[in-house]
Structure 1
Amino acid sequence: MYHIGELARASGLSRDTLRFYEREGLLCPEGRSEGGYRLYGEGAFQRLRFIKQARALGLSLEEIKAVLEAMQGGRPPCADVRRVLGQKVALLDERIAELSALRNALAERLEWAEAHPDPACDGKDHCVYLDPTPA
């Protein structure tokens, strides 16, 4: 059995993060020591690795909790995970398209600004580089 500090060091997470995960229902100590300290077993390391990997792939704590609950209920979570992964890919595709459009607009603006290094600008309340570019 491991105290929270030992688990924190071994997992690379802070004690506060472990306590937060406990409050959120993602991690549960197996018991308490005579002094009232949280005690964790080997399963806590595996669970934290799972949580860290899921977080690295962009899953929210709510999504991770749902997967963990499915596993605890004896139900393989693969269909749920596949659905969430599909949603994440779709959201990333949308975000990439938005960022690509923004990059193109910025590049166009920069090109115009570099072609006009000394614009007639009074400097009051606007900048010609941010005004709509002339056609």
Structure 2
Amino acid sequence: MYRIGELAKQTGVSPDTLRFYERIGLVHPIARSEGGYRLYGVEAIRRLNFIKQAQALGLTLEEIRAVLEVMEEGRPPCADVRRVLRQKVALLERRIAELTALRNALAERLRWAEAHPDPACDGQDHCVYLDSTPA
């Protein structure tokens, strides 16, 4: 069994994060010592590694909790994970499109600004480089 500090060292997750994960239902100590210390088994290491991997792929703690609940019910989580992954890919594709459009707009504005390095500008609450349609 591992006390919270030992589990933190084993997994690279801070004790505060472990306490937070316990509060939101992601990890559970299997017992308390006589001194009141949380005690975790080896399954906590597997679970924390699962959580870290899911986070690295962009899953939120709420999404991770939902997957863990499916697993705790004894069902394979693969269908649920595929659904979440599809949603994440679609979200990223939309965000990439938005960022690409923004980059293109900024690059066009920068090209214009560099072609007009000394525009007539009165400095009063605006900049010609940021006007909606440069002259």
Residue in structure 2 matched with residue 13 of structure 1 by the alignment: 13
Normalised by the length of structure 1, the TM-score is 0.98
Q: TM-score, normalised by structure 2?
A: 0.98
Instruction: Name the amino acid aligned to 1:113.
Output: A
Q: Which residue of 1 aligns with 2:54?
A: 54
Q: Secondary structure at the match of 1:39?
A: strand
Alpha-carbon shift at residue 10 of structure 1 (Å): 1.2
Code of the residue aligned with 1:42 in structure 2: it is: V
Count of matched residue positions in the alignment of Structure 1 and Structure 2: 135
**Within the alignment, does 1:127 sit opposite 2:113 as a pair?**
no
1:1-135 correspondence runs (5 A): 1-134=1-134
Output the amino acid matched with 2:70.
A
| Residues 69-102 of structure 1, C-alpha deviations (whole Å, 9 max, x = no match) | 1111110010000000000000000000000000
Give the secondary-structure state (helix, strand or coil) at the position aligned to 2:75. coil
- Ranges of 4+ aligned residues in structure 1 off by more than 6 Å: none
Q: CA deviation at 1:134?
A: 3.9
Q: Is the 8 A contact 2:31 2:39 kept in 1?
A: yes
- Partner deviation per Cα, 1:10-67 (whole Å, 9 max, x = no partner): 1111111000000010000000011000000100000000000000001111111111
The answer to whether the 8 Å contact 1:5/1:15 transfers is yes
CA deviation map 1:93-124 (0-9, x unaligned): 00000000000000000000000000000111
Contact preservation (8 Å) 1:31, 1:39: yes
**Cα RMSD (Å):** 0.9
